[in-house]
Structure 1
Amino acid sequence: MTSAAGQTPRALTVIPAVGRSTGASPAVLVLPGGGYAKQADHEAEPVAEWLASLGIHAFVLRYPVAPHRHPAPLATTKQALIWIRDGNHGLNVDPARVGVLGFSAGGHLASTLSVGVLTGDPGLDIDASVPDLSILCYPVISFVDSVHQGSVDNLAGVGATPEVLRELSTELHVTPDAPPAFLWHTADDESVPVSHSLAYAGALSRAGVSVELHVFPNGVHGIGLATGTPGADQWTVLCAEWLHRMGWAV
């Protein structure tokens, strides 16, 4: 992931914002899903292009997956977010408006970033590695309740201890310092139950953190932009409105 100043790290794809004439633009780091086993292409560049159309610089990260274990994906993601905020890419990014968007296991990674799960590297476990907002799309959240076993095994390893599983259950680590969040899920998701989004949204609400949650009746897991899925296909409209209210979208 390391790169010289001004060079894009090999794991990142950059899609600059459109529609802004002056001033610094917000940026969002996009984390595709794939159960910590692969990267789902339809949750990557197409999503970044949608963000760019809202006037937001988008950076797609291909983070490490199995056989790499925790904290490798999180360490790479923190490094990427710090790099985006530092501005060595040459884009005019507002360092106070750098967010994260993740799908499924990428949503879990985004939430670990948001609640400050540690990597053990003091150079990465700093405030600059915490996003200013998060967008979580049918995210994996809990490693202890209604788990997505593939994500658990690929990230924590088969037979991980209860302590490790609790460490990676992000609903257990929300504090008032967590960033505002937009979440969406489908009620009939059979791969990652909607209880994951409900648990994280509930934890944010109890901590006094601003959160918006949308649960749509139907839609299989992994639908990305959800084109062609009635109801769930409105998530991009709702999220764009949320981003506009947050002062991020044009």
Structure 2
Amino acid sequence: MKIEDYSLNISDHQFKVKGYWLDQVDDFGRTVDYPVVVICPGGGFTFHSEREEEPLALRFSSFAMHVVVLEYNLIGKNPVYPTALEEMAKTVDWLSKLPESMHIDKSKIILAGFSAGGHLVAAYNGIATNPTLRKKYQIDRYNGQHAAIILGYPVTDMTVKGSFPDDDKILQQISLDKSLWKTQDLLNKNSKPAFIWLTRTDELVNVTNSLTYADKMAQLGIPVELHMYGSGIHGLALATYVTKKPGKNKYLNQRAAGWIDLVMSWLEMMDLVL
């Protein structure tokens, strides 16, 4: 495996991505083009959780997938959006233009978002598949398209009371554009299939987020699979010792740790694995 850092350019600044590239295997007797997962970690739009970066990247890599971690725009002098959308569009465009020597199956670009990163992926799934919205948010200049999305305990509706962000000031720092607050309203019949997982007892992001998003997809006839585990805290990541915070066993959840195997089974069903 090769691990490389990159700086990509959009209209007004640079942002970083990290690639985890699988090597070719001589024993296969031929070259192989692998699917690629773009990970958007959580962190409440104030930081990028490292627990949802390399540990997840290595796990996905073990299933024969390239991985790219996107360090998307955070709360700062300007709102997170629409810049984060352009960063995602640029990342997909960049992947679609990489040389054949990178051995990427460009028809199998999968976006995976966790917590706040899930909001970016959920929003992009509606905007990038709608020509009018692509133009509105100025991402129509970018090429490439994703094939599916994975959402882990995602923020999809920022207007749900008692759920993140539940603070008007923070909400404005994330986006001044109210049409981005409810990602389910951005979905259309061309949006891509989704796998969603969460825990019923999530103390930070109300389950209404995932349920509403999945329901809208079902109404539109878009393939969606949703798994809600009966218990577990927010931010489980892999829910194993790899992503457990020291001394905090609440980050271990044997049942929820099975989510990634279910994801891979779903991707196989959707013909999106090797």
TM norm. shorter chain > 0.5: yes
Cα separation, 2, equivalents of 1:119 and 1:226 = 39
Query: Is 1:149 matched with 2:142?
Result: no
Give me the whole-angstrom Cα distance separating, in 2, the residues matched to 1:102 and 1:90: 27
Residues 56 and 218 of structure 1: is their aligned pair in 2 closer, same or farther, counting only changes over 3 Å?
same
Q: CA–CA distance in 1 between the matches of 2:181 and 2:87?
A: 16
The answer as to whether partners of 2:37 and 2:68 remain within 8 angstroms in 1 is yes
**TM-superposed deviation, 1:144:** 2.2
Would you say the 8 A contact 1:17–1:53 is kept in 2?
Answer: no
Residues 73 and 89 from structure 1, CA distance in 2 versus in 1: closer, same or farther, beyond 3 angstroms? farther
SS at match of 1:141: coil
Q: Choose which of 91, 108, 115 in structure 2 pairs with 1:97.
A: 108
Assess if the C-alpha contact under 8 Å between 2:40 and 2:112 holds in 1: yes
- How many pairs were matched up? 241
Work out whether residues 18 and 55 of structure 1, in 8 Å CA contact, stay in contact via their aligned partners in 2.
no
1:2 aligns with: 8
Opposite residue 219 of structure 1, the aligned amino acid is: G
Counterpart Cα distance in 2 of 1:121 and 1:14: 26
Q: 1:171 to 1:126 in 2, by over 3 A?
A: farther
4+ residue runs over 6 A deviation: none
Confirm or deny that 1:200 pairs with 2:213.
Answer: yes
Superposition CA RMSD, Å: 2.5
Query: Corresponding residue for 2:16?
Result: 11
Task: State the distance in 2 between where 1:145 and 1:77 align.
Answer: 25
For residues 119-134 of structure 1, the aligned pairs below 5 Å read 120=136, 122=138, 124-125=139-140, 128=143, 130-134=145-149
Residues 159-188 of structure 1, C-alpha deviations (whole Å, 9 max, x = no match): x76xx2233311112111010100000000
Q: Map 1:199-238 to 2 at 5 A.
A: 199-227=212-240, 228-238=252-262
Q: Which amino acid aligns with 2:232?
A: G
| Percent of aligned positions that are identical | 27
Q: Which runs of 5+ in 1 are unaligned?
A: 4-8
Alignment of 1:1-250 (within 5 A): 1-2=7-8, 11-17=16-22, 21=28, 22-67=31-76, 68-69=78-79, 70-88=81-99, 90-116=101-127, 118=134, 120=136, 122=138, 124-125=139-140, 128=143, 130-146=145-161, 147-149=163-165, 153-154=169-170, 156-157=172-173, 164-227=177-240, 228-250=252-274
The 1:151–1:118 alpha-carbon spacing in structure 2 relative to 1, beyond 3 Å, is farther
Per the normalisation by structure 1, the TM-score is 0.87
| Inter-partner Cα distance in structure 2 for 1:181 and 1:126 | 25
The letter for the 1-side match of 2:8 is T
Considering only CA atoms, is the larger Rg found in Structure 1 or Structure 2? 2
Which consecutive residues of structure 2, in runs of 5 or more, have no partner in the other structure? 1-6, 128-132, 241-251
2:54 and 2:114 map into 1 onto residues whose CA distance is 13
Distance 1:210 1:152, change over 3 A: farther
Counterparts in 2 of 1:77 and 1:232: CA distance versus 1, 3 Å? same
